[in-house]
Amino acid sequence: MALQTIFADRLEDSVLTINGLAEVLRDQIAQRGSDPAPQLSDVGIDAILGAIVIISRAAHDDLCELMNDHFPGATGGDQ
């Protein structure tokens, strides 16, 4: 499998995962003040937010690799 394909697949998986985690948080917020109470603790919410940050950084790196392969110098170096 080509390296570009690996980056592209991993980037797609990352974006889909971020989307799923964001939906969980959106549902959590929508349930505040309702009965039954939201299911996530503050620790759970922090864990999801931390995961989103970590996954988005990895997705950014993969996107930069793909962009540099197709358009050298397009990303302007590390961010």
Cα 36 to the center of its chain, rounded Å: 28
Count of structural domains within the chain: 1
* Residue corresponding to tokens 């299911």: 39
Q: Is residue 77 part of a domain?
A: no
Q: Is residue 20 part of a domain?
A: yes
Report the SS3 class of residue 22. helix
CA 17 vs CA 21, 24, 55, 77: distances in Å = 6, 11, 8, 26
Q: Is residue 31 part of a domain?
A: yes
Q: Is residue 78 part of a domain?
A: no
Q: Is residue 76 part of a domain?
A: no
| Selection from 65, 51, 75 nearest residue 2 by Cα | 65
27 is in which domain, residue-wise? 3-70
Residues of the chain under the 50 pLDDT cut: none
